[in-house]
Structure 1
Amino acid sequence: NAIVSPEIKVLTVEDPVEYHLKGVNQIPVHAKVGMTFERGLRSILRHDPDVVMIGEIRDLETARAATQASLTGHLVLSTLHTNDAASAPMRLIDMGVESYLVSSTLIASMAQRLVRRICPACKRAADPAAHKPPPDMDWEPGETLYEGAGCERCRQTGFRGRSGLYELMLVNDDLRLQIVDRIPTNQLLKSARQAGLRLLREDGWLKVRQGITTVDEVITCTAV
């Protein structure tokens, strides 16, 4: 919604099209007739889009096509299977994309996980002894932890709905140089942390403090 407008042409290639988005031209992948991510991407680029979204980068051909699209001035959005935001550029390089191309085209990478939300209908203060914050959680004495007691609305689970945990790595000039040099992911993560990256787990603790989810839920969803 932040991108879509009458002035911006947005085209997607998805497998499958899970949600129909108003103002977006969405093309489903159909491998049986030869409509792959890579072929779909090349097809939609002929329509001069401003923004391109690829459901998933699964192979080198799609990765290279996405990189070339970004080099020609298109904003390209896609997904990869990695553990964290810092692993995304190295994943593309491991797939076979040249490191200088990844460095020059990548703007940002975001890792995300879904945690269960505490049911608002039965939300209550939790017993601190039963939900002791872990050492890496910035917790002030006297702050309140919350949990769901369980009710009919949440089917006695204490949770209702989900919320996202996000880890956003903005690629600055220092990170670009390190990506070109193919430095280990842990070193890239260290540099990203120095530039202000907040880890998934840290975002989880923020949502615990806001009363959105529980300590146990964050620990479970951020375990590698």
Structure 2
Amino acid sequence: GKTTTLYAALSEINRVESKIVTIEDPVEYRLRGINQIQINEKAGLTFARGLRSILRHDPDVVLVGEIRDEETARIAVQASLTGHLVFSTLHTNDAPGALTRLVDMGIEPYLVASSADTILAQRLVRVLCPLCRVPDESAASARLLEEWGVAGNGCIYRAVGCEHCRQTGYSGRRAIVEMMAVGAEVRQLLLDRQATGAIRQAALRHGMRSLRDDGLRLVREGVTSLDEVLRVTTAGESAEEG
């Protein structure tokens, strides 16, 4: 999921004149025109050490497979502040949580506020098998959609199972995403050391679509089931929650 997203972003901006370098664990597949480095902690090549080495060659774009510690986080932030476009990943519950996670790792709020630009949280939902899905006409589903303010005349579907999908009811996966632009209000809340919840509410006011709401979009499009969205999201990830 996250590797696919990162590689897609790099492929979108990859140009002959751009110097793009990645440091990953592992390198999942090769990208044409991009210098990819795999870490080897046994040999002393950590994310932090590899990132320092990369920056000596003044790349335009850097991808750090994962920020696992304060040292790597600090180097990545400083790289961003000195004009490099930096992509990376963190383990957090949602997009706003990435900002407070960096602060919790020891990075000063003003550095995070100055360097972060866009944060994308994502989870994978299973795609309904198109050969055996059936309309979901249950009262429970109708009640939930009504509570969330998304009830309508459209048809939603549920999983059944057939030979094509090996009786699972699903075939393939799609990402649901929560994209947060780090604007002025979010930056100020971060500088004021406000909790993740306050940052989240500000992001929602400025147009961020929550993970659950993006999942409900796929439900309404017939891509996935309501049960699947409920499985991978929580109530607090709805824009309706305060």
Both structures adopt the same fold (TM-score exceeding 0.5): yes
CA contact (8 A) 1:114 1:162 kept: yes
Bigger drift between 161-170 and 119-128 goes to 119-128
1:138 aligns to what? Answer: 150
* Matching residue within 138, 145, 162 for 1:151: 162
Which residue identity is paired with 1:179? L
CA contact (8 A) 1:118 1:148 kept: yes
- 1:1-224 to structure 2, matched below 5 A, reads 1-129=11-139, 131-132=141-142, 134=144, 135-140=147-152, 142-223=153-234
Whole-angstrom CA distance in 1 between matches of 2:218 and 2:123: 13
Query: What is the Cα deviation at residue 180 of structure 1?
Result: 1.2
CA contact (8 A) 1:10 1:52 kept: yes
Unaligned runs of at least 5 residues, structure 1 = none
Whole-angstrom CA distance in 2 between matches of 1:181 and 1:43: 34
Query: What is the Cα deviation at residue 205 of structure 1?
Result: 0.3
CA contact (8 A) 1:133 1:215 kept: no
Which residue identity is paired with 1:192? A
Q: How many residues align?
A: 223
Which residue identity is paired with 2:226? V
Query: What is the Cα deviation at residue 174 of structure 1?
Result: 1.6
Query: What is the Cα deviation at residue 125 of structure 1?
Result: 2.2
| TM score, norm. by length of structure 2 | 0.88
Whole-angstrom CA distance in 1 between matches of 2:195 and 2:141: 36
Query: What is the Cα deviation at residue 209 of structure 1?
Result: 0.3
Query: What is the Cα deviation at residue 46 of structure 1?
Result: 1.9
Whole-angstrom CA distance in 2 between matches of 1:23 and 1:153: 39
**What's the secondary structure of 1:2's corresponding residue?**
helix
* Greater than 3 Å deviation, 4+ residue runs: 128-133
- Percent pairwise identity: 52
Please give the per-residue CA displacement for 1:196-224, whole angstroms capped at 9, x wherever unaligned.
11100000000100111000000010138
Provide the aligned C-alpha RMSD in A. 1.5
Please give the per-residue CA displacement for 1:78-131, whole angstroms capped at 9, x wherever unaligned.
111110111111100010001110000000111110000011232332333364
Unaligned runs of at least 5 residues, structure 2 = 1-10, 237-242
CA contact (8 A) 1:128 1:145 kept: no
Please give the per-residue CA displacement for 1:22-55, whole angstroms capped at 9, x wherever unaligned.
2221111100011000011111112221111111
CA contact (8 A) 1:115 1:221 kept: yes
